[in-house]
A and B are shown apart, each in its own frame.
Chain A
Amino acid sequence: MRGRRMRWREALGILLLLGGAGFAPAAAAEEETFSVKALRTEKVTLYDCNKEKDKRKAVKDVTRKDFRGPWAATRDPASPLFLKVQVEREEYCVRAFSVETDRTVAIEKGVECNAMVAGKQPKTGATRGVGECGR
Chain B
Amino acid sequence: MSQPLAGDGSAEIDSASVVVRRPGPTARALAQFLLLSAIGVVLFMFHGISLHLTPWSQAIVNGIVKYAYPPDGQRDTTVLLFREENLAALAESSPVSYARHAEVLEALSVYQPRAVFVDFAFIDARSPEDQAALGRAICDLNARGTVPVYLAAPAPSSDRDHGAPINAPLLECAEPVNAQMDVERGVSGVLTYLHGSGHSSFRWTPAFAMYDARERIAARPRLRPEDAQPMEIIWGNLGSTLNESWMQCTSEGALRHLFNILRENPLAAKRTCPHTNTISVVHLLGPFNEGVRGAIEGKAVFYGGNFQMVGDRVISPVYDDLPGVYLHAMAYDNLVTFGSTYKRADHHGLSLSSVVNGLLLLFTVVLLLLVDKPPAPAKALLGRLSTVSPWIKWLALGVALLLIGVTMLFPTSLAAVLLLLPLLLGVVAVLHLAATRPPQPTSARHFLRICGLGIAILVVAAVMFLVVDTRYGIEAGLLLVVLPGYFVYKALVARDVLFVATSGLLVGAAVVSFLPPINLGPRNIVAYVAFFEVARHLMRHADEAAEKYFALRRAHPRPEEWGVGAGVLAAVDWLFTLCCRGDHEETRHEGTTHAVA
A contacts, CB < 8 Å to B: 40-41, 53-54, 80-81, 83, 95-101, 103-109, 111-121, 124, 126-128, 130-131, 133-135
Contact = CB atoms under 8 A, between A and B. Distances in A.
Contacts of A121: 308, 313, 321
Interface stretch (B67-75, B93-101, B447-455, B498-506): B93-101
A96 B285 CA distance: 7
A19 B413 CA distance: 76
Given A111-B280, A113-B85, A121-B321, 5 more contacts: A54-B91, A96-B288, A106-B291, A111-B282, A118-B326
A8 B26 CA distance: 112
Interface in B518-535: none
A124 B320 contact: no
B354 interface: no
B306 interface: yes
Contact of B110 (A53, A80, A98, A107): A98
Q: Which of A53, A80, A117, A133 is most buried by chain B, counting CB atoms within 10 A of its CB? A: A117
Given A53-B91, A105-B290, A111 B283 contact: yes
Contacts of A105: 286-290
A135 B98 CA distance: 10
A90 to B, nearest CB: 21
B220 to A, nearest CB: 32
Interface of B: 81, 83, 85, 89-91, 93-95, 97-98, 103, 106-107, 109-110, 124-127, 130, 242-243, 245-248, 270-274, 278-280, 282-292, 306-310, 313, 319-323, 326
Nearest to A52: B91
B282 A104 contact: no
Nearest to B98: A134
B320 A119 contact: yes
Given A81-B286, A128-B308, A131-B94, A116 B291 contact: no
A84 to B, nearest CB: 12
Contacts of B97: 134-135
A114 B83 CA distance: 13
Contacts, number: 138
A118 B85 contact: no
A104 B293 CA distance: 12
Contacts of A128: 94, 307-310
22 contacts: A40-B110, A53-B91, A54-B91, A95-B285, A96-B285, A97-B107, A97-B110, A105-B288, A107-B283, A107-B291, A109-B245, A111-B280, A112-B282, A115-B83, A116-B272, A118-B274, A119-B321, A128-B307, A133-B124, A133-B126, A134-B98, A134-B130
A81 B288 contact: no
A41 B290 CA distance: 17
Given A105-B289, A105-B290, A117-B81, A133 B125 contact: yes
A111 B85 contact: no
A113 B89 CA distance: 12
A117 B91 contact: no
A116 B283 CA distance: 15
A37 B227 CA distance: 51
Contact of B246 (A111, A120, A126, A127): A111
Q: Which of A53, A54, A96, A100 is most buried by chain B, counting CB atoms within 10 A of its CB? A: A96
Contacts of B270: 118
Given A127-B309, A130-B95, A115 B85 contact: yes
